[in-house]
Amino acid sequence: MKPKVVVVGNGPIGHKFLECLLELQGQSESYQIIVFGEEPLAAYDRVHLTQWFETRDAAGLNMVPVNFYADHQIECISGDKVTSIDRDNKTVTSTSGRIESYDKLVLATGSYPFVPPIPGHDRKNTFVYRTIEDLEAITTAAADAKVGVVVGGGLLGLEAAKALHDLNLTTHVVEFAPRLMAVQIDDGGGNLLREKIEALGVSVHTGKNTQDIGNGESRAHKMCFADETELETDLIVFSAGIRPRDELARACDLRVGEKGGIVINNNCQTSDHDIYAIGEVALWGGRIYGLIAPGNTMARAAAHDLMPTDTKSEFDGADMSTKLKLMGVDVASVGDAHADTEGALSYTYVNEVEQVYKKIVVSHDKKHLLGAVLVGDAEDYGTLLQFSLNKIALPENPEILILPAFDGTAGGGLGVDMLPDAAQICSCNNVNKANLVEAVQGGCWTLGQLKSETNAATGCGGCTALVTKVLNAELENLGMEVNTDICEHFSYTRQDLYSLIRVNKIQSFDELITKYGNQEVIPNLGCDICKPTVASILASTWNDYILEDKHRGLQDSNDHYLANIQKNGTYSIVPRIPGGEITPDKLIVLGEVAKRYDLYTKITGGQRIDLFGARSEQLPVIWKELIDAGFESGHAYGKALRTVKSCVGSTWCRFGVQDSVGEAIHIEQRYRGLRSPHKLKMAVSGCARECAEAQSKDVGVIAVENGWNLYVGGNGGMKPRHADLFASEINTETLIKYIDRFLMFYVRTADRLQRTSVWIDNMEGGLDYLKQIVIEDKLGICNELEKEMAHVINTYQCEWKTTVEDPEKVKRFSHFVNSNDIDRNVVFVKERGQIRPATEDERAQCQEQQSNKVIAIAG
């Protein structure tokens, strides 16, 4: 007979224990396993409990893989509570009357929320926040409620407050201590956190001692506080701390702590060596660890004790550092956040404008980091945690770890090479640097592979950035060369091709592929990757008309038709509206043209007007009209300059300090038509209020009293990035000079389809290096860059103008080479007074019978 382990409590830690045990089973003798859980569901992820609100479906939180119990012959008994332990006979008894013997017993009973014994604490519609059932009950009650109060302003209290807020209740947080999150953060951080939370519309009341809860006048309850103030509410959630569920242990005389918790040793054994306690019920070193990571370590230690192997695993305390997002606010606390260590010194950085608070606590000799508090911006958490955990020697001026890196120099970015092998990178899953490095060496070359191999970054996610750094550093150490060939036709990067074309004065794709194409590839015709790339480089360099016969076949479909192709094969038309400024007359022309050709009209996100639904053969006709009215191509179809957004600026706005519209127009006209590795967007704001959102653009210009601040590398879109400040208080001439150089350097060196944001992020030496090149002319190329730009500017032509003036070119826009017919498959439907492409069903319907809802737009 196999020895038998009984686990009491099927929460995250009980489950972790099962996983650890199974992992070791292969190596040693195996056990018969039974797990009891009081809750109706098997283990679910309590850490992410709040996510239940997103789907209101418990399935998303489930931690147990399908068939887990059956596959491993574990007996899982849910909805049955263990009520007593008989240590003499080594049995446990449950509510349902079940009696199970055990050889080893593991108590993973967790904790329960503490509800202060205030008179009225058990009134109707008072809740705690611990289980899925709690959340269900809160949701039901919230449906008829208007106001909700959370008692307790700690970590969980704020999470509960967020939930009430999201349930559309007017939400209050009532905290006994003088600040929020009293355990983890200090006064400064607490105050900032409070401001931020109040800004979200949640009221915070600190220093409030609730004395009584009774009937309210306008709401269900009235809470009365010691300072004689009152608060009325419909429902109350208590989140005033947790207490270990040690009742079973007490009843069978296991040793427990004064304030509760089952006392354990480093192997997680209780005073009875056949009984273990792990997770939130366990007391180690006089302390309860209310976090998941220490619990996981305990589970591992207990499993190792049951299954002795060569590798020892013990629990010897845990770091309680935490990083979280509370109501959208980044908050982190590392080590000795309160500077309790003797002789500890601290540095504080407070930025009231951006609402950031950072503090570090260092040892008296300033050699080691003891703790830190971050509110509003917790990006430095990983670095600070490593400094503190691994006792890494601090730089001479420790404050640089938290000071912003304005000029790109400072910034305590920690080279991962400095970390010892044993440095714990992922505390949730106890993965250290050596584990990661080993996995990378074993072939995990992507973050995804590394995560599934090591489990790192699969818990709270707080370590993801650091794991990525280790991955990249190790890939570099391995001398991994990623194949950077642009495609099978050229063994070159885009950057190489650019140089080849410029230096050897190559004028066409054919010439390039004949001289530099891969000779093994037959027939060597290029493809839809290298052709548009080369087309773009040729255009940036020589700026020929892109529809010349030798270039036309290279162009991406949009460039090919000088318009953006839409889902039904029709095109959209976006004339340039520099800076977003447009005269009423021009607006009328757009309206008239749109009406005449029945085009769908929309204001774009780039401050201009898009006309959709033109068939290819209509494009030249429509453009002819637009050009006659003074419009020109907007290059919405090109990897080229798109728009330069502006705000109204000093001309009208009472706050404006410069003419932002004028400057936006100036800039847009200067760079219109410039082809680049990816599209380029710019903006000019008239003052620091930044209504043009310049900091989200590739090039952003913000007016200041004495000139302009220039920002580069911003991005909206899929992965937003704020632009970096590149130069301050420069005059217009310098501004243009820098932009010329910046853009041309980007055109020269970026990868295909790489926006400036990613280009800068990937640049070795980063922003600093870029400044050295563009501002200090470190490479001595600024002259060239300016000349190259001047060539592009001087050879600008409106591609549409050139096109409509050439009848041969116009002919190519007809849909068929052998017929004047139009594409009969293009069908539109009217919606909200305008056309839209018909759906497939609608198209079929239209083909069957000409119903009046569906209109075929015939020529």
Partner 1 sequence: MSYEFICSTTNIIINSGRAALVEGQQVAIFRLQTPQGDKYFALQNYCPFAKANVISRGIVGSLNNKLVVASPIYKQHFCLETGVCLEDEAVMLKTWQVLIRDNNLQVIIADQKTA
Ligand X SMILES: Cc1cc2nc3c(=O)[nH]c(=O)nc-3n(C[C@H](O)[C@H](O)[C@H](O)COP(=O)(O)OP(=O)(O)OC[C@H]3O[C@@H](n4cnc5c(N)ncnc54)[C@H](O)[C@@H]3O)c2cc1C
* Closest to 345 measured CA to CA, from 378, 370, 318, 379: 370
Of the residues 5, 6, 7, 49, which one makes contact with ligand X according to CB under 6 A: 49
Q: Which listed option, partner 1, ligand SRM, ligand FES, none, makes contact with residue 528 (CB within 5 to 8 Å by class)? A: partner 1
Which residue reads 């956190």 in tokens?
193
Give which of ligand X, partner 1, ligand FES, none residue 291 binds (C-beta under 5 to 8 Å, depending on kind).
Answer: ligand X
CB-wise, 165 or 608, nearer to ligand SRM? Answer: 608
Alpha-carbon gap, residue 310 to 409, rounded angstroms:
47
Can residue 821 be called a binding residue for partner 1 (CB under 8 A)? yes
Contact 700/711 with Cβ under 8 angstroms? yes
Choosing from 403, 565, 753, 793, the residue that interacts with partner 1 (CB under 8 A) is: 565
Asked if 463 is part of the footprint of ligand FES (rule: CB under 6 A), the reply reads yes
Rounded Cα distance, 708 and 690, in Å = 12
Question: How many chain residues bind ligand FES (CB under 6 A)?
Answer: 12
The DSSP line for 676-737 is -SS-EEEEEESSTT-TT-GGGSSEEEEEETTEEEEEE--B-TTS-BPPEEEEEEE-HHHHHH
Give the residue, chosen from 462, 575, 707, 766, that forms a contact with ligand FES under the rule CB under 6 A. 462
Site for partner 1 in 620-659 (CB under 8 A): none
**Sole binder of ligand SRM in the list 454, 564, 676, 709 (CB under 6 A):** 564
In this structure, what DSSP letter does residue 128 have?
E
Q: How far is the CB of 715 from ligand SRM (least distance, A)?
A: 4
> Measured from the CB of residue 69, what is the shortest distance to partner 1 in angstroms?
40
372 neighbors 358 (Cβ within 8 angstroms): yes
Cα 268 from Cα 195, distance rounded (Å): 42
- 423 near ligand FES, judged by CB under 6 A: no
d(C-alpha 754, C-alpha 340), whole Å = 48
Output the residue with the shortest Cβ distance to ligand SRM: 717
CB of 481 to partner 1, least distance (A): 23
Give, as one character, the DSSP assignment of residue 32.
E
**Binding to partner 1 by residue 560, rule CB under 8 A?**
yes
User: Residue 16 or 741: which CB sits closer to ligand FES?
Assistant: 16
Label residues 349-374 b or e (16+ Cβ within 10 Å = b): beeeeebbbbbbbbbeeeebbbbbbb
- In angstroms, give the least distance from the CB of 281 to ligand X: 6
- How many other C-beta atoms lie within 10 A of the C-beta of residue 732? 15
In whole angstroms, the minimum distance from the beta carbon of 77 to ligand FES comes to 30
Binder among 332, 554, 593, 782 for partner 1 (CB under 8 A): 554
Residue of the chain from 461, 553, 605, 765 that contacts ligand FES (CB under 6 A): 461
> In whole angstroms, how far apart are CA 74 and each of 18, 31, 37, 506, 569?
9, 10, 13, 71, 58
Instruction: Answer with the entry of ligand SRM, ligand X, ligand FES, none that 46 interacts with (C-beta below 5 to 8 A by kind).
Output: ligand X
Select the residue interacting with ligand SRM from 3, 605, 630, 765 (CB under 6 A): 605
Task: Report the b/e string of 601-634 with b at 16+ CB within 10 A.
Answer: beebebbbbbbbbbbbbbbbebbbebbeeebbbb
Member of 840, 841, 849, 859 binding partner 1 (CB under 8 A): 840
CB nearer to partner 1: pick between 428 and 512:
512
Single out the residue of 25, 64, 78, 81 in contact with ligand X (rule: CB under 6 A): 81
Residue 459 partner contact from ligand SRM, ligand X, ligand FES, none using kind-dependent CB cut-offs of 5 to 8 Å:
ligand FES
User: How, if at all, do strands 170-174 and 203-205 pair?
Assistant: parallel
Radius of gyration (C-alpha) of the chain in whole angstroms: 33
765 binds ligand FES per the rule CB under 6 A: no
Applying the rule CB under 8 A, the residues between 497 and 536 that interact with partner 1 are 521-528, 530-532
CB of residue 292 vs ligand FES: minimum separation in angstroms? 8
Strand-pairing partners, residue 267, are: none
Spatial distance between the Cα atoms of 243 and 229, rounded to a whole number of angstroms: 29
Q: Between residues 295 and 700, which has the closer beta carbon with respect to ligand X?
A: 295
Pairing of strands 707-712, 724-730: antiparallel
How far apart (Å, rounded) are the C-alpha atoms in residues 509 and 739?
Answer: 29
Rounded to whole angstroms, the Cα distance separating 347 from 335 reads: 15
Report 280-339 residues binding ligand SRM (CB under 6 A). none
Write out the binding residues for partner 1, residues 701-740 only, by CB under 8 A. none
Question: Which option in ligand FES, ligand X, ligand SRM, none does residue 108 bind, with CB closer than 5 to 8 A by kind?
Answer: ligand X
Q: What is the DSSP letter of 171?
A: E
3 state DSSP class of 310: coil
Residue 272 CA neighbour count, 13 Å, CB half: 20
* Contact partner at residue 718 from ligand X, partner 1, ligand SRM, none, CB < 5 to 8 Å by partner kind: ligand SRM
CB nearer ligand FES, residue 462 or residue 700: 462
**Secondary structure of residue 621 in the 3-state scheme:** helix
For ligand SRM (CB under 6 A), the number of binding residues is 19
Q: What angle do CA 502, 505, 506 make, to 5 degrees?
A: 100
Q: Which of 550, 602, 787, 830 binds ligand SRM (CB under 6 A)?
A: 602
Rounded distance between C-alpha atoms, residue 170 and residue 218, angstroms = 14
Of partner 1, ligand SRM, ligand X, none, which one sits near residue 110, judging by CB under 5 to 8 A according to partner kind?
A: ligand X
487 is written with which tokens? Answer: 């495609």
Q: Which residue, 492 or 600, is less far from ligand SRM as judged by CB?
A: 600
d(CA 69, CA 704): 66
459 is a site residue for ligand FES (CB under 6 A): yes
Confirm or reject binding of residue 740 to ligand X (CB under 6 A): no
CB of 159 to ligand FES, least distance (A): 17
Residue 138 makes contact with ligand X by CB under 6 A: no
Residue 481: CB atoms within 10 A of its CB come to: 7
The answer to whether the beta carbons of residues 108 and 20 sit under 8 Å apart is no
Interface map 622-641 toward ligand SRM (x if CB under 6 A):
--------------x-----
Binding-site member from 5, 356, 428, 574 for ligand FES (CB under 6 A): 428
How far apart are the C-alpha atoms of 142 and 233, rounded to whole Å? 11
727 bridge partner residues? 710
- The contact set with partner 1 (CB under 8 A) reads 488-489, 521-528, 530-532, 549, 552-557, 560-561, 565, 567-569, 812, 815-819, 821, 823, 825-826, 840
- The contact set with ligand X (CB under 6 A) reads 8-14, 36-39, 46-47, 49-50, 81-82, 108-111, 129-130, 156, 159, 245, 248, 279-280, 290-293, 295, 324, 460
- The contact set with ligand SRM (CB under 6 A) reads 564, 566, 572, 574, 602, 604-606, 608, 610, 636, 642-643, 681, 715-718, 755
